[in-house]
Amino acid sequence: MADEFITIGSGDLSAGINPLGAELWSLKDGQGRELMTDADPRWWTGHAPLLFPFVGRSRGDAYRFEGRDYPMPQHGFARRRLFDVVERSDEAATFRLEADAETRAVYPFDFRLDMRFAVERAALRMTATVANRGTGDLPFSFGYHPAFAWPLPYGGAAEDHRVLFEKAEPAPIRKVGDEPGLIALESAPSPVEGHVLAPTPATFRGDALIWDRLESRSLFWGVPGGRGLRIDFPDTPWLGLWQKPGAHYLCVEPWAGMADLVGFAGDVWEKQGIMRLAPGEERAFRMDVAVVDGWI
């Protein structure tokens, strides 16, 4: 088992990963400036948990499979498990989590989750690969949950920061409903003007903003016209943005999957966004974060 903090990097960017959860804890530019959350315990001590085998909260913190209820914490168990380091170089590392007796007690499937991090110049490439090593179909969802600095260390006040989407996003969004952590049945008007979102702490008083009719697969976070982060997520169709109001981060969360709807009472195959992986198959989800000068 791995028990050491892993650092990879180039001269332009470095990433620090905690094998507990294979969680990205630090992302620094070539001048050593931190681009991620300060993890102030007044708000949230997380950094970038991986969401597996389910994204979000299951109603009653449990799900049903073949007539039996299994406990499942919000966002799954991967973020609380120690991953093995199966590849490591100066610029890349791969972490692995495999099914064992502990995971099978709450998730009776033989899976393998590989999480690869690679730094290429001023970009971090992250790829999660889920494999079904069992004899039956595997139900799962997956999501990223990184918290980036707000404000970023490139000048400009927090209130000047914007999310610039690749495309216009006029469709209604989803929000958390009356049951904590579950998705409201009704939609809310899009807060995006054209392709621009101007977030403030008040934006998140009702919890996360959730896009389930997302057109974009790329966005920019920072002060328009200045240096910031380009974030690409080609394999995840949904997106959450979240902050504990007043904290010094913005979570940009590409998801393939979502929390249960308020009142949901179905089995695991009826959960929204659930994916079915046949025996021997695997599926990959990429997320890239690059330091860029302005929106490209």
100 vs 2, more confident = 100
Q: What share of the chain has pLDDT > 70, as a percent?
A: 99
The residues near 189 (Cβ < 8 Å, ≥ 6 apart) are: 172, 173
> What count of other Cβ atoms lies within 10 Å of the Cβ of residue 121?
12
Note the pLDDT of residue 3: 52
Span 169-197, mean pLDDT? 96
- Report the mean per-residue pLDDT for the chain: 96
| Cα–Cα distance, 96 to 287 (Å, whole number) | 17
* Per-residue pLDDT reduced to its tens digit, 20-65: 999 999 999 999 999 999 999 999 999 999 999 999 999 999 999 9
Q: pLDDT grade, residue 2 (50/70/90)? A: very low
pTM of the entire structure?
0.96
**For the segment 219-242, what is each residue's pLDDT rounded down to a tens digit?**
999 999 999 999 999 999 999 999
Q: Which residues lie closer than 8 Å to 143 by C-beta, 6 or more apart?
A: 50, 51, 52, 55, 56, 75, 236, 240, 253, 254, 255, 256, 257
User: Into which CATH architecture does domain 6-274+285-293 fall?
Assistant: Distorted Sandwich (2.70)
Q: What is the pLDDT of residue 1?
A: 35
Calculate mean pLDDT across residues 83-102: 98
